[in-house]
Structure 1
């Protein structure tokens, strides 16, 4: 198995046709089919299921697809690191950012950094905190910009102080809670099945226990849209910070503030502990502690 074979396999998997993959790779179809056959023989398993029109991945193929992407990204990252070492700050910096930071943080930071390092280009990957940490783990990106809290044990980080905010926690329901007000006491949740985000589980549990009961957590999830869907179906009460709902529709759902329960949220720049960082990534991290020339 070599890098070229992995690239060929990825092209076939993405194009879903050997003919289309060969065309994209600018090679003839027979050599591509030969390399695929050699790869399957080496691994001792079929990687593709050939249908009448399109190719689909076998279970083994799906595993290789994930690993091949990681390997290719790691190889490209290594090349960039060596080039960075030999030639200084240039090339492309891969950054992951939660969607809410795209308009509030990324533009000004890229502008500041580009004013100092003209030869650096960027690739921005967006998603929620869970996706950003996944991209960091498989070396697709070097740096992530996420919202707190996150997995502090596995990442080094710096907080972005100017972006810290306090937001009320909401109990979001279809009809499991009855209240004529816009807020409720936390004790109203004592006998309700709760749907909580893993990032906020500890905070919610501690607050409930301080008020005399252990919360009944029906479901822990990472996807806010799934939590809202479960709340809409009256499966439980979703507990989320108000700031998480800024860009989401909660039509037909009732958001009630939980009296006294707030979440301090801020943005943080994170990167894996004990992991090589290119000089470009290091300088970009340092740029968050610098003053924008326009502010001086």
Structure 2
């Protein structure tokens, strides 16, 4: 299978019409249609449901889209790596992670590498542990940052010199903001807003099933949850150091009592053949965090 038909297929999937994709690719519509028909014959399955206005991917088409994105991305990155001269370190390092203050340690490593190797580039992807794990396993990112209870058996990993602190964000004028810390008893009958990835930690800390609590909303990005807290919709259980709680902010943060912390790890795919840029990044974080 050649790479070009996969690139054409991805454009059709993106545009939703043969005519739109043909225009973007500077091809004639009949030529692109033939290419897609040949791709379907080569794979032995139907990739599109051709409606009157838009093209929809079949189940096989959606599977191919995911795999084609990985293949095209890998080919592009490989070509870019080998176009660099032997005496110049360049290339892109891709790092995924959730919202955690520990990403500041990654930023420190990036700053030092950018100073030493100006042609290096960095791409950051934000997502929950499941999203980051999927991208790490498929090769779409080089490294993933995981907070708390995460299944790292599939990866090589390195503990980061950071421990995140769990607590509660709330309006600064809320009565609970007058306390130095928040207990489970303080929250048990109040509207709560939880991270989708923190069920295990919260269940252990509350010592009861999450379903028995009044969870009015869940989130995977804390900024969006903070908007709910500002409107008094609920108490956001989250990590410290992500949302602004400075004097001018209308939000306050109080740690949990008993204290609940989370270890942070950076991981990479086992037996992964790194690019020169990714290898240098790994060496740098090992140096900084040892």
Return closer, same or farther for 1:50/1:123 CA change in 2, 3 Å cut-off: farther
Paired position in structure 1 for 2:14? 14
**Is residue 169–residue 229 contact of structure 2 (8 Å, CA) maintained in 1?**
no
**Is residue 96–residue 135 contact of structure 1 (8 Å, CA) maintained in 2?**
no
Q: What secondary structure, in the 3-state scheme, does the structure 1 residue paired with 2:6 have?
A: helix
Return closer, same or farther for 1:97/1:274 CA change in 2, 3 Å cut-off: same
Alignment of 1:273 with 2:284, yes or no, is no
Return closer, same or farther for 1:262/1:40 CA change in 2, 3 Å cut-off: same
Q: Which moved more, 1:31-40 or 1:131-140?
A: 131-140
TM alignment of 1:123-272, pairs within 5 A: 123-130=122-129, 131-161=131-161, 164-170=162-168, 181-182=178-179, 183-188=181-186, 196-197=194-195, 199-209=197-207, 214-217=208-211, 223-224=220-221, 239-246=237-244, 257-264=255-262, 266=264, 268-272=265-269
In the alignment, structure 1 segments of 5+ residues that lack a partner are 292-296
Q: CA deviation at 1:101?
A: 6.5
**Is residue 95–residue 144 contact of structure 2 (8 Å, CA) maintained in 1?**
yes
Return closer, same or farther for 1:215/1:171 CA change in 2, 3 Å cut-off: farther
Return closer, same or farther for 1:151/1:84 CA change in 2, 3 Å cut-off: farther
TM-score by length of 1: 0.69
Paired position in structure 2 for 1:94? 93
**Is residue 193–residue 217 contact of structure 1 (8 Å, CA) maintained in 2?**
no
**Is residue 172–residue 253 contact of structure 1 (8 Å, CA) maintained in 2?**
yes
In the alignment, structure 2 segments of 5+ residues that lack a partner are none
Aligned-residue RMSD, C-alpha: 4.4
Q: What secondary structure, in the 3-state scheme, does the structure 1 residue paired with 2:11 have?
A: helix
TM-score by length of 2: 0.70
**Is residue 269–residue 285 contact of structure 1 (8 Å, CA) maintained in 2?**
no
Q: What secondary structure, in the 3-state scheme, does the structure 2 residue paired with 1:276 have?
A: coil
